[in-house]
Structure 1
Amino acid sequence: MDVRYFAVGVAACTILAATELRAAEVTYAAGITGNAANVFEQLVAPWEEATGNKVKLVPMPASSNDQFGQYRLWLAAHNKDIDLYEIDVIWAPQIAEHFVDLKEAAADLIPKHFPSIIDSQTVDGRLVALPLFTDVPALYYRKDLLEKHGASVPATWEELTETAKKIQDAERAEGNSDIWGFVWQGSAYEGLTCNALEWVKSSGGGQIVEPDGTISINNEAAAAAVDLAATWPGAISPEGVLAYQEEEARGVWQTGNAVFMRNWPYAHELGNGKDSAVKGLFDVAPLPKGGDSGQSAGCLGGWNVAVSKYSEEQEAAISLAVYLAGPEAQKKRAIIGANLPTIVDLYDDSEIATKQPLIPRWKDVFLQAVPRPSAPTKTAYNEVSSLFWNAVHNTLSGSGSAAENLEILEADLEDLRGDGW
């Protein structure tokens, strides 16, 4: 082959031809949740075959906190062993200096993505990461149990509390002693920031820190939302939910021991797996709102791929990044992993709609998403998030009321902000 680029599936998503690249092995660091490793292996196979290169997956902890901490250590040391990093949508402003600008390499691809996601990965005019998939959580619910007990999908957090308790108690009275009403992510980590932001924002309590940098978290609506959630552990949720991350919640749900679950799209495909006790028994809906005047607000997530400035295989790494962010890989990821594309046209793709009918429906959930305050707080975001999730976790654990803890949080955030973020 004598051309510089080899197109895989879609001309706009080009990858470098094997004759133009010496055979290389690139290392790819990514968090592994659910069946992510198997999905990744299938995704990179066409690129490996086309280029003659190989990809080595470096599995990271499922906890995004632990993952980010390890990334920062490697990048600060200018580690040459990792060529590509899969990064959370909120990390770009904090570690942008360590990544290659991908704007030129992905020039034909950029217009295909949701502009807001491209913007989130652009720092000081540099496109430091390419979108792989977006993420917005939903409310998973047992269709069979709601029908059995004459209940509707709850529209508010108050209704969820009541419905979860009603069905849980009725099922236990019939001998199903392991059933819980609602499982979610209550451990003190980034996932709790996402959960609690959803409660607060959907109740009219703001976004912790507003887009203009105003600290808004200390208000009655936010306190009421967190106080309501504090009634769940031991009542409609296991006491252990205060240590749950995504996989712990999915474990309870997938064994058939929960009526409702808050989780990300990846759990849908696994929940319908052949070994799942809830296969075919559940559906999803937008997360509840806070009261009659609120609005559903799923936390905007998503993952992107960045190329290290310290990589000695930058050419091959950039090639892989562009391929993984392109239409063919995103379509394949949607079909086999149930991940939400960031390429707009894929929401109208007939094959995706046939094989993953949930994805076109999830677009409605996506349109109600709320971002975490990483843009206004920039490099201080991790500390902001940590202060927030600890204040919430204290309340959930019974250490102070939400009003008390959010007042302390406001003061801590003011100290952190100083003269500006």
Structure 2
Amino acid sequence: MVRKSLGLLLVLAVVMSLGVASVSAQDTAMECPEGDADVVIAAGAVGIEFEVVQAQADRFMAMCPNVSISLLETPDLATDRLGLYQQYWEAQTPDVDIYQVDVIWAGIIAPHVVDLLEYVPEGYLDQFFPAMVAGQNIGGVQVAIPWFTDAAGLYYRTDLLEKYSLEVPTTWDELTAAAQTIQDGERAAGNADFAGYVWQGNAYEGLTCDAHEWLVSETGETFISPEGEVNVNNDAFVAALERAAGWVGGISPEGVTTYGEEESRAVWQAGNAAFMRNWPYAYGLGNGEDSAVAGLFDYAPLPVGANGTPAACLGGWQLAVSKYSDNPAAAAAVAIFMASYDEQKIRALSPQGANPTIPALYEDPELIDANPLFSRMGPILASAYPRPSGFTAARYNDASTLFFSAVHSVLTGTTDAKTAVEDLELDLQDLVDEIKASM
């Protein structure tokens, strides 16, 4: 479904060095594109994300009324979203101009997007974290602009930790024990629906993130190394999967194997969980007027495993312009605007609270005062661990699907953990061999 942009709101900056109406923003001088153009953005709708993007579109159109922007609502689950995008790319359709893309899709999207180096103003990319820019550069082609970054953390109920005289858990075993204690107490007090811990257990990219955190925190390695070595068939990962399978129907609802980010947040925000693994976007929403946990929670790094390695999954979303677009210059102008300093600041100040990809914003006094989470994101981002999209490149989705499918089979009781990792090792090795053969 396409939703039309409706209002005209305040604009702080506009884009690009291609047109006539020049505007100055804090990050760089940019200009409106020439001529009339219709631009469609494939946008996420997790939390209030769709509304935030709509507001960005309205601000752009207020400054550049020659550009009409519409939004296409896309699936919440990253795996489903990629599947939708791939249908558009296979058809080479001009129906979508800008794609919101996951940080690990750079190799997948490369054949289908323009080189943004042909459109960004001089010096524009210098303001971003260099590693984030480099991560979206494939063979010298800038396939996307870093828009906001993510690293998952542990949400915890401060009131319940105090009630049960517990500390913030720092290991997975401590989390399991604390979640069980609080769950038992709250259920005994009459809340039969209360869960100790909610997370993302559905068979999709979110489960790859969760299980990747279990693996890295126990072994210090991802499931495919940058050199193409497979690391799943080991006792530590078997034990981690068995522990997680034990959570299902224990400290976590039976239905957690169908949960994505929003299902987890719904349980948490209703006041029915002691702990939640989720991304920073849930922080501002959890403190909203409609939240049962407003003012009653905090956010910490995820627990560590046996080797003491913090391992938050590195996430984040970028903006890419379709090579099949009828209006690539206008689309690039919109994307550059959306990722600009001022727009990232507005987004960070919104209830969505997205983490900027521009380091200077982490020193912005207004942001620090407005969002306490920013002062805590440094250590979490510093310990964030990337998924193996570097080696797998365009085959990353194949690798991830093998990984989360195997993990899901353990969580649902279809396969035991030892058999699952043995089979997964063989499947991933076959994929690695195919990738190496194509190099």
Smaller-chain TM-score range? over 0.9
Determine what percentage of the aligned residue pairs are the same residue: 45
Q: Alpha-carbon deviation of 1:46?
A: 2.5
Match of 1:376 in 2: 391
Q: Secondary structure at the match of 1:131?
A: strand
Q: Which residue of 2 aligns with 1:85?
A: 99
SS at match of 1:403: helix
1:105 maps to what in 2? Answer: 119
CA distance in 2, matches of 1:5, 1:195: 46
Q: Which residue of 1 aligns with 2:140?
A: 125
Match of 2:310 in 1: 296
CA, structure 1 residues 395+135, in 2 after alignment: closer, same or farther (shift >3 Å)? same
After superposition, give the CA deviation of every residue in 1:85-114 in whole Å (9 maximum; x if it has no partner). 111111110121111111243241211111
* Equivalent in the alignment of 1:59: 73
Which amino acid in 1 is paired with 2:323? K
- The CA deviation at 1:362 is 1.1
1:233-382 counterparts in 2 under 5 A?
233-291=248-306, 293-336=307-350, 337-382=352-397
Q: Give the one of 30, 33, 40 matched to 2:43.
A: 30
For structure 1, which runs of at least 5 residues remain unmatched after alignment?
none
Code of the residue aligned with 2:164 in structure 1: it is: H
Distance 1:11 1:134, change over 3 A: closer
Match of 2:31 among 12, 15, 20: 15
Determine helix, strand or coil for the equivalent of 1:135.
strand
Distance 1:418-1:166 versus aligned 2 partners, 3 A rule: same
- State how far apart, in whole Å, the 1-side matches of 2:187 and 2:317 are: 39
Cα distance change of structure 1 residues 401 and 113 upon mapping to structure 2, 3 Å threshold: same
Give the conservation status (yes or no) of the 8 Å contact 1:43–1:332: no
Query: Which residue type is aligned with residue 45 of structure 1?
Result: D
**Can you list the C-alpha shifts for 1:195-231, whole angstroms capped at 9, x where unaligned?**
0000110111520001111111111111111111111
In 1, the alpha carbon distance for the partners of 2:224 and 2:406 equals 15
Q: CA deviation at 1:307?
A: 0.7
Select which of 65, 74, 79 maps to 2:88: 74
Is the 1:197–1:207 Cα contact (8 Å) retained in structure 2? yes
* TM-score, with length taken from structure 2: 0.92
Structure 2 unaligned spans of 5+: 1-17
Match of 1:85, SS state, is strand
Distance 1:369 1:327, change over 3 A: same
C-alpha contact (below 8 Å) 1:186/1:243 kept by paired residues = yes
Q: Which among 24, 45, 49 is matched to residue 58 of structure 2?
A: 45
Mapping of 1:204-223 within 5 angstroms?
Answer: 204=219, 206-223=221-238
Using the TM superposition, give the Cα deviation of residue 8 of structure 1 relative to its aligned residue in structure 2, in angstroms: 4.7
Given that residues 21 and 51 in structure 1 are in contact (C-alpha distance below 8 angstroms), is that contact kept between their aligned partners in structure 2? no
Distance 2:364 2:278 in 1: 24
Displacement of 1:130 in angstroms is: 0.4
Asked if 2 retains the 8 angstrom alpha-carbon contact of 1:13 and 1:322, the reply is no
For residues 105-160 of structure 1, the C-alpha deviation after alignment (integer angstroms, 9 at most, x for no partner) is: 32412111111111111111100100110011110000000001100100000000
Q: State whether residues 238 and 421 of structure 2, in contact with CA within 8 Å, keep that contact through their aligned partners in structure 1.
A: yes
Distance in 2 of aligned mates of 1:15 and 1:232: 53
> What stretches of structure 1 move > 4 A for 4+ residues in a row?
none
Deviations 1:324-363 (A, max 9, x none): 1110111111111200000010001111111112123212
Q: Tell me if the contact between 2:19 and 2:34 (Cα under 8 Å) persists in the aligned partners.
A: no
Q: Which piece of structure 1 moves more, 266-275 or 400-409?
A: 400-409
TM-score under structure 1 normalisation? 0.96
Pairwise CA distance, 1:40? 1.0
Whole-Å Cα distance in 1 between the matches of residues 190 and 327 of structure 2?
59
Q: Which moved more, 1:335-344 or 1:220-229?
A: 220-229
1:103 partner SS: helix
Note the aligned Cα RMSD (angstroms). Answer: 1.5
